[in-house]
Amino acid sequence: MRLAPLSRSELIKRLRALGWEGPLAGTKHQHMVKGDLQLTIPNPHRRDIGVNLLKILLKEAGISREEWLRLR
């Protein structure tokens, strides 16, 4: 399977399924936390989160592609 664009709400839903908490208020962006890790969440826009940004977010969160794709 391949990574695909997804909505901000779907991103948050999947992160919560992996044990992340939030989103929590920040200064300009909201973030989610898991233990000592903090992940900045993109602000809501009209369009989906693209694959390139999703790859960056997964890398920052320490989530493997396989782990992410199992959540579908």
Per-residue confidence of the chain (72 residues) as pLDDT tens digits?
Answer: 899 999 999 999 999 999 999 999 988 889 999 999 999 999 888 899 999 999 999 999 999 999 999 987
Do residues 24 and 32 lie in contact, with contact meaning Cβ atoms separated by under 8 Å? yes
CATH topology for the 8-69 domain: Metal Transport, Frataxin; Chain A (3.30.920)
- Rounded Cα–Cα distance for residues 28 and 2 (Å): 31
pLDDT given at position 46: 84
pLDDT at 45: 81
Residue 29, by phi and psi: left (phi above 0), alpha (psi -120 to 50) or beta? beta
User: 9: closest CA among 30, 35, 28, 27?
Assistant: 30
SS3 assignment, position 64 = coil
pLDDT of residue 44: 84
